[in-house]
Amino acid sequence: MIDIFQKYYQVNELFNKTDKVLLTVSGGKDSMTMLHLFRSANLRFGVAHCNFNLRGEEANKDEAFIRKYCTNNNIEFYSVAFNTTEYAQENGISIQMAARNLRYTWFEKIRKENNCKFIATAHHKNDIAETMLINLTKGTGIAGLHGIRNKRDSIIRPLLCFASVEIETYVKENEIQFRQDQSNSDTKYTRNSIRHNVIPELEKINPSFIETVVTASVQFSELEEIVFQKIEEEQKRLFVKDGEGFKIDINLLKELSPLKTYLYYFLKPFNFNGADILDITSGFEGQSGQVFYSSSHQIVKDRTHLLLNKSVKGETEVVGIKSITDFPYKYELVEITSNFKIKKSSDFAYLDADKITFPLRLRTWAKGDFFRPLGMKGNKKVSDFLIDQKFSVVAKQTVKVLIQDEEIVWLVGHRISDKYSISSSTKRVLKLSI
């Protein structure tokens, strides 16, 4: 087994023999086997152990067991105790997820502080099969079918070449001492239920089930690379940079097959899910202006394009401006002289300073807002003004208005109200610029 271990980490380039590796050791037979193999191969390593304070005195005995082993064998040992239950409650997550977050954050900290190149976990072939079955049960794309990778960033898994039965045999042959975690037998946990109830039944159908699944996981991993390469190529072709977002030609998008699958992977990084994709594709033939939201982004269906941007949903914050110094824009109070000139740019607003009274308010425009645009005699709805100016649906959402006594003074960055414009009787000008 030691020969297979050495060949596996070398062929797969998990680490070099000169690298120092941080071994994550729980005290169970898998991690103690990993520790034994690293010692037998005369590799450089340290040992890290987490006490999650979930199993009372048994957890303390686990820590004492590993500490004693490391002391007796002159091995660097690092340990930490977590209040896992409290962390889970504070963050609204499961105990299992809390333990995962805590341990990997701490492992990375210890790795850096002690000049370790990698963090090694004791996952094996059975873990690959269990993970794949869990992902299939919960629903997964192709990414969930490659199981567990043997290397990802600073994490390596040097025991993925062994099945659980091989590890058990190695433990017996080498009389390796280990601690038994009774919670591993509790089938109320999904992984344990699959391990003890599902896999044994599948092995009755195919005695080589674990090896079959591991082989399949490698094939899925290679297939995933091919698929995502194609998806990336099509995404680069269709996603055209548009300001801070992207615009996607609907007609070109519709040429892709299978469309929903392509669109799912295109939009997954922007937090859109499968149900969102169905809504978006169903709206292709609908009217312009439909908006689809994810937790972080929005897609607006324009006439010929989908417009993808960060979400501005719910931006209703009102900024109070109590005095001239509170303006979030550049401001200048100018006395009218013969040298006074106006810059013809929508970035500037020239207001009659004596018509402005504080406090003012700044907010996103709302349905029903109206004002008297400079140069017009009558009032006009802001929505109609934006349509006339050919604003895109996305651009409309970011337009703000400066308000005095419920009247719009300035459609910021676009047009001031004629009511507050300068005239022949103006003595002072309030100049604002964005």
- Of the residues 291, 310, 329, the one at which a domain ends: 310
Residues 254 and 200 in one domain: no
Predicted TM-score (pTM) of this structure: 0.65
Domain count, the chain: 3
* Residue in 34, 26, 33 with CA at minimum distance from that of residue 99: 26
Choice among 99-113, 193-207, 412-426 with the minimum mean pLDDT: 412-426
Residues 120 and 169 in one domain: yes
Residues 300 and 366 in one domain: no
Q: Where are the alpha helices (DSSP H) in 309-405?
A: 382-388, 393-397
pLDDT at 316: 55
What residues contact 143, with CB distance under 8 A and at least 6 apart? 224
Residues 277 and 403 in one domain: no
- pLDDT higher than threshold 80 for residue 397: no
Instruction: Residue 400: give its domain's CATH number.
Output: 3.50.40.10
If one compares 423 and 18, the residue with the highest pLDDT of the two is 18
The Cβ of residue 368 has, within 10 Å, a number of other Cβ atoms equal to 8
- 25 domain residue, yes or no: yes
Residues 303 and 348 in one domain: no
Q: What percent of the chain has pLDDT over 70?
A: 98
- 421 domain residue, yes or no: yes
Residues 137 and 285 in one domain: no
Mean pLDDT of 391-413: 83
- Of the residues 169, 196, 214, the one at which a domain ends: 214
Residues 377 and 358 in one domain: yes
pLDDT at 45: 97
Residues 274 and 347 in one domain: no
Cα–Cα separations (whole angstroms), residue 166 to 31, 34, 172, 202, 404: 14, 12, 10, 19, 78
324 φψ region: left (φ > 0), alpha (ψ -120 to 50), beta (else): alpha
- 249 domain residue, yes or no: yes
Domain limits for position 204: 2-214
pLDDT digits (tens, 9 = 90+) for 41-67: 999 999 999 999 988 899 999 999 999
Q: Pairing mode, if any, of strands 118-120 and 20-24?
A: parallel
Residues 334 and 269 in one domain: no
- 376 domain residue, yes or no: yes
Residues 372 and 255 in one domain: no
Instruction: Residue 136: give its domain's CATH number.
Output: 3.40.50.620
DSSP H or E run through 95: helix 95-113
Choice among 17-21, 206-210, 408-412 with the minimum mean pLDDT: 408-412
Residues 269 and 323 in one domain: no
pLDDT at 4: 96
Query: Residue 299: phi, psi to the nearest 5?
Result: -120, 125
- pLDDT higher than threshold 90 for residue 7: yes
As to burial, measured by CB atoms within 10 angstroms (0-12 exposed, 13-18 middle, 19+ buried), residue 48 is: buried
**Tokens describing residue 420:** 């507050």
Residues 331 and 268 in one domain: no
- Of the residues 310, 340, 363, the one at which a domain ends: 310
pLDDT at 16: 95
pLDDT digits (tens, 9 = 90+) for 263-317: 999 999 999 988 899 999 988 887 777 888 888 898 988 889 999 988 765 555 6
DSSP, residue by residue, 128-160: HHHHHHHHHHH---GGGGS---SEETTEE-TTT
pLDDT digits (tens, 9 = 90+) for 116-140: 999 999 999 999 999 999 888 887 7
- 224 domain residue, yes or no: no
Question: Which of 252-261, 303-312, 409-418 shows the highest mean pLDDT?
Answer: 252-261
